[in-house]
Every structure is written in structure tokens, then in C-alpha cells.
Structure 1
Amino acid sequence: MPTLKALFDPRPRVSAPVYRRDVLRAALAAAVLICLAVWLGGQGWRSAAIGAVAPIVPAALVVLSRTAGRLRDRDRTPWLLAVYGILYVVSLAPIEDLADTYPVETLASALAILAFFVWFFVETWLRAGTPGPNRFGPPPVETPVASM
């Protein structure tokens, strides 16, 4: 089990199984917190609901940190996270007016963004890390998971 400091450290390389485990744990924790916040908000406890979702921010920082480490394991620059973030924000823009005026360009842009997201997913979730040391350091040390 990584220490709290290790979870927030983006420098070491992170293997695919460790990355998937940590991201899925963070996503599960966020889902539970959102459900709790919705239930508390439904009971009329608005402050408690806001407090229940506050830990999602550290969970998101863990995901960003682990993703940077995962990109390092693939011998990719962590600056790809900035590209991902910019494209994510751009993908949220309302494009209805643009689609009417520039349909081909809008479709091409949407497909290019989708292609980057698919590539990013394959790169971080599905592909193995570079074997041996790379420009970001030695390979990650696999820690055995205790059986239950």
C-alpha cells in the first residue's frame, strides 16, 4: 500500500496495474462521496452535502499525480496531461452554432479530440510500460497485493 506522500508524488513511474488500481479506487471513492452528498442534500443538510464532496479534490489530485507517473512509465512527457485538459475544456464548448456554419470543420475537430482521448486511454490504461530504465528513471517496483 503506497504511503499518502507517494500517492501525491508525480515523479516515480507507475505500472499499468498499479495505475488502474489507484484510479479505480479514487473513482469509487468519488462515486460514494457523490451519492452521500446527494442523499445529504435530499435530507436538507446542504452544508454536510458540500462537506461530503470536498474530499473529491484530493482524489482528483491523486489521479493526476498517478497519471503523470503512468505517462512517465510509458516514456511520455507528463505535459500530455495539459494537452488532455485543454482538449477536455474545448470539448465542453457549445458547438451548435459552429456546426451549422462550419459542419465539416466542427466534425473534424470533434473526431480529432475523440481520437486523442482514445489514444490517451490506450496509452495509460492498456499498454505496458517501457521495459527497463527510461529517461524518467528505473522501472516501477511491483509490490505484491495481499490476498484476501
Structure 2
Amino acid sequence: MDWTWFLFRFHGRINRAKLWLSLLVILCWMAFAGMLFGGIRKLLGGPAAVGFDLTDIFAVLDPDTYRSLTRADIVPAAVHGILTCLFAWVFAAGIVKRLHDRDKSGWWMVAFFAVPGLVDQYADRMPGTTLPMIVGGAATLLSLWGFVELYCLAGSPSDNRFGPDPLPELRPSECSGRPTTSPAAWDQHKELEFTPHVASPPLGEAAIGCTSPPAK
């Protein structure tokens, strides 16, 4: 599988399994970066607890985040911000390709991720009590809709405007009548399973194949 395309590119389609895989990759990266970054800070005498979250991207874009920083916090905050942007990029690449699989524009990510994230970041600055509740409820519904749309529902069953179906087509075998994977539909860059090729049949069986029995 082409991991550069899978993790960083925005064109093409991926199915649900690959979207879950991309999320697992991001979580593993965040855990590793948190342990590494925390260990370095502990060696330098700073606090060891360092965590990463995809919603931190909205804190990175919030000017209030930087107003209370000291000189000692500038370098850790910069590293944290760069890594957060990297994780958010990989997440966005997976979401956009999955939206393509659902035959939707990648701009739907604004409704499913950006709007709920911004509402959560700025909810405490909204005036009154009713407005934050209404806006927060709408953002929660958008998040739930996005989760079902992206992680639960199947993609387009055939080619669409964004590319071919990421799952292989099934066609009946000429000999057995059982469904087999069409060789033309095989795409190494879009397959998740790494299964060994089936060995060729023995010479005797290959010779028989689908030929009809000899006439008597």
C-alpha cells in the first residue's frame, strides 16, 4: 500500500477499514510523541505530562492560547503546535478520502469537524446561557452525523466522480460459478489485506481446467 498517498494525500477514495486504520496510526503517533516529548521535558527539568489531541488544532489557531506563554514555554509550544498540525493533516486526508468514498465533497469536513471544534473552543466566550446550549447542541448533532457518515456507512458500490471503488469487484467464476476477485479491479495502493497469492493448481488439474469431457 502507498502509505504516502494513504496518510498525506487528499485525492481518491478509502473505505471504512482504512479510515479506522488511519485513526489508529494517528493515535499511535500521538502516544509515541507524547512519551518522547514528555521524556525530553523531564530530562530538562520541566513537567513530564504532555498530551496530544486532534482538537488541539483549534487551540493552536486561538490567539488566547499564546497570551499566557513564558519564554520557557515558547519552544515546547512550537513543537506541540507543529506536531498537532501534522496529526490534523493526516486526519483530514483520511476524512476527505472517506467523504469521496461516500460520493461527497471534502468540504463536508467543515460541517463534521471544523464547526464542532470551533464551537467547543469558543463556547465559553459566547454571551448568555441559551445561545451556547443551542449552538453546542447543533455542533453535537453534526459530530454524530459525521461519525455515522464516515465510520459506519458503506461507500458508493461502484466508481463515482472521485475515483474507482476501493473494494475489489466480485464476478462469477467461469468454471465454478463462485464469486472471485476481478484481476482488473485489483489495486495494490488501495488494498488493506496482505494475503498470499493462491498457488497454481497441479499440472493435471490445470490441464483439465474448464474443458469439457471428451466425446464418446
Normalised-by-shorter TM-score class: 0.7 to 0.9
Matches for 1:1-148 after TM superposition, within 5 Å: 1-44=1-44, 54-83=82-111, 84-95=113-124, 98=127, 101=128, 103-141=129-167, 143-146=191-194
The separation in 2 between residues aligned to 1:67 and 1:106, in whole angstroms, is: 27
Gaps of 5+ in 1: none
CA distance in structure 2 between the aligned counterparts of 1:93 and 1:109, rounded to whole angstroms: 11
**1:95-125: CA deviation from partner (whole Å, max 9, x where unpaired):** 3662xx3x33321111000000111111111
TM-score normalized by the length of structure 1: 0.80
More helix by share: 1
CA distance in 1 between counterparts of 2:90 and 2:4 reads 9
Larger Rg: 2
Cα deviations across residues 1-30 of structure 1 (Å, max 9, x unaligned)? Answer: 323244322110110001110121112111
The root-mean-square deviation of aligned C-alpha atoms, in Å, is 2.8
Q: Which deviates more from structure 2 when the two are superposed, residues 38-47 or residues 67-76?
A: 38-47
* Percent pairwise identity: 22
* Alpha-carbon distance between aligned partners in 1 of 2:25 and 2:43, rounded to the nearest angstrom: 27
Conserved 8 A contact 1:73-1:136? yes
Kindly indicate whether the alpha-carbon contact (under 8 Å) linking 1:34 and 1:52 is maintained by their aligned counterparts in 2: no
Q: State how many pairs are aligned.
A: 144
Structure 1 residue 53 displacement after superposition: 7.8
- Residue ranges of structure 2 left out of the alignment (5+ in a row): 47-74, 168-189, 196-216
AA at the equivalent of 2:105 = T
Please report the TM-score for the alignment, with normalisation by the length of structure 2: 0.57
| Contact residue 14 and residue 97 of structure 2 kept, 8 A | yes
Greater mean alpha carbon deviation, residues 116-125 or residues 5-14: 5-14
Instruction: Give 2:107's aligned amino acid.
Output: W
Relative to structure 1, the CA distance from residue 28 to residue 62 in structure 2 (aligned partners, 3 Å threshold; closer, same or farther) is: same
Q: CA shift at 1:34, angstroms? A: 1.4
Q: 1:43 to 1:139 in 2, by over 3 A?
A: same
User: 1:36–1:49: 8 Å Cα contact kept in structure 2?
Assistant: no
Q: Larger deviation: 122-131 or 45-54?
A: 45-54
The change in CA–CA distance for 1:105 and 1:2 in structure 2 (over 3 A counts) is same
Call closer, same or farther: CA 1:7–1:76 in 2, change over 3 Å. same
Residues 13 and 72 in structure 1, CA contact (< 8 A), matched pair in contact too: yes
